[in-house]
Amino acid sequence: MSQSGNAALQARREAAVPRGLSTNQPVFAARAENGEIWDVDGKRYIDFASGIAVLATGHRHPKVVAAAKAQLDSFAHVCVQVTPYEPYVKLAERLNALMPGPGPKKSLFLNSGAEAVENAVKIARIATGRSAVVAFNGAFHGRTLLTVALTGKVAPYKLGVAPLPADIYHVPFPDAYHGISVEQSLKAIDALFRSDVDPNRVCAFIVEPVQGEGGFNPAPPEFLQALRKICDRYGILLIADEIQTGFGRTGKLFAVEHSGVAPDMMTVAKSLGGGFPISGVVGKAEIMDHPAVGAVGGTYGGHPMSCAAALAVLDVIEEEGLVERARTIGGIITERLEAMAGKNQFSCIGDIRGLGAMLAVELVKDRVTREPAADLTKALVAKAAENGLMALTCGVFGNAVRFLPALTMPEAQVREGMEILEASLAEVLSA
C-alpha cells in the first residue's frame, strides 16, 4: 500500500498525532485552487469549509500569493518588536479606517483567533481596571484556558481542564428557533447583575455577531443595540468577536454592521490572512493605548508575510466586490435549502439561518419537537465528502451543517455543491 494515500496517511496520523486534534474527514489535501481541493488520491472536492472560514478569497488567490512571495523576497522575519516594518503599519492603518464607529482606532496583530481574544480581554481589564467578563451560552472564542472559559460549550472544550480562569460569566444568547427571545437574554443579563456580579466590576461583554460553533445564530440587531446601551450605562467595553464573521462573509465587511452598533474593540483573524496565519485586535485608540510598553506583543505577531497577504486580501475584497458577492452566494444556498425543506422527503430540515454566505441548516428528528438529529448530520457530512463536497457541522447539539464557501467561488460550483448536498441527504435518509 502507498505510504502517501489517504488510508496510509490516516494510519500514520493516528500513530503520530494526539487524538485530541480532531479531523473532519480522513482526507488529506494535496493541492487546492479557489473553491476546490484535490486529495492525495486525486479526488476532487468542492470546498464549503474554506479552512473553517479562512478563505473568503479562496485557495491561493493569485494576488495574495504574489504579495506573500514579494515579501519573502525582501525578508521573512525580523520581529516587529525588534525592527518594525511597513506592512504591519500599513495593515493597521487600513483596518483602523475600516472599523465601524467614529474616532481614531489602533490595531495590534497576533497569530491566532484565541490569541486575539486573550489580548482583547487583557486590554479591557487594563483599560477599565475591572476583571469580570460576560460571554454567552453557545459561544466559541478559542481553546486556550482563558478563551475556553469564555466559550459557552463544555464538550469537548472544557472537559478535564478545570480549574478555569475566574470572573467569567455566561448568559443565554438569543435563539428564536430554540425558544430564547431577545427579551429573555436581556432579562438574564439583568439577573446576572443582580445575583452574581456587580456591573461596575465588569470590564467587557464579548459577543459573536453571528455565533459560529454555536450554530450560526445571528444576533438580532435589537439585541446588539440593547447590549451597546447596557455597556454605555455601566462603563463596560463591548468586544465584537469577528474572527469567523469578518471580511465580507455575512454580506457586510463586519457582521456587527448589520446592527449599526459600533463596538469598542473587535477581534479579527481567519479570512484576514487569506490562508496565512494572522489575527488582530482593532479598537478605539484611547483603549488600545492603555497597556504599558511591552505588555502586548509576541515573537511572530503580525508576521511580515501574513501582513503582506492581508493587505492583498483587503484589495481583493474591494476590487472583486466580495461583500456583495457574499449576498449572491448566500441567496443561491438559501434558495436551494428552502426548496429542499419544502419536500416531504426532507422533513428533517428544521431551520435555515445565517447572514450572507455564512449559513447553516439544522437537522431534526421531528419538526414539532425539534429534537436534534446529530447522527444524521454526521452521516450527511461524511456522505457529502464521499460524493465530493467538503462541509462542516456546528451547533451546541452537533446537528447543523454550515456553509462557508469562498466568496470567489463560481456560482456554478456553488450550485454543484448544493446538488451534492441534496443527493447526499437523500442517500443517508434512504440507507
2 pLDDT above the threshold of 70: no
Q: Report the Cα 60 to chain-centroid distance in Å.
A: 20
Q: List, edge to edge, every strand of the sheet that includes 389-390.
A: 29-33, 36-39, 44-47, 389-390
User: Is 46 exposed, middle or buried (CB count within 10 Å of its CB: 0-12, 13-18, 19+)?
Assistant: buried
pLDDT digits (tens, 9 = 90+) for 286-325: 999 999 999 999 999 999 999 999 999 999 999 999 999 9
| Domain 6-61+321-430: CATH superfamily, name plus number | Aspartate Aminotransferase, domain 1 (3.90.1150.10)
pLDDT at 99: 98
266-277 mean pLDDT: 98
Q: What is the CATH number of domain 62-319?
A: 3.40.640.10
pLDDT digits (tens, 9 = 90+) for 34-60: 999 999 999 999 999 999 999 999 999
DSSP H/E element including 401: strand 400-403
List 38's β-bridge partners, or say none: 31, 44
Q: What is the mean pLDDT of the chain?
A: 97
Q: How confident is the model at residue 282 (pLDDT cuts 50, 70, 90)?
A: very high
Which grid cell is 199?
A: 456591573
pLDDT at 271: 98
Q: How confident is the model at residue 4 (pLDDT cuts 50, 70, 90)?
A: confident
pTM (predicted TM-score): 0.97
Which grid cell is 115?
A: 490569541
How far is it, in rounded angstroms, from Cα 201 to Cα 49? 39
Q: What residues does each domain of the chain span?
A: 6-61+321-430, 62-319
> Which amino acid type is present at position 391?
A
> Which amino acid type is present at position 53?
A
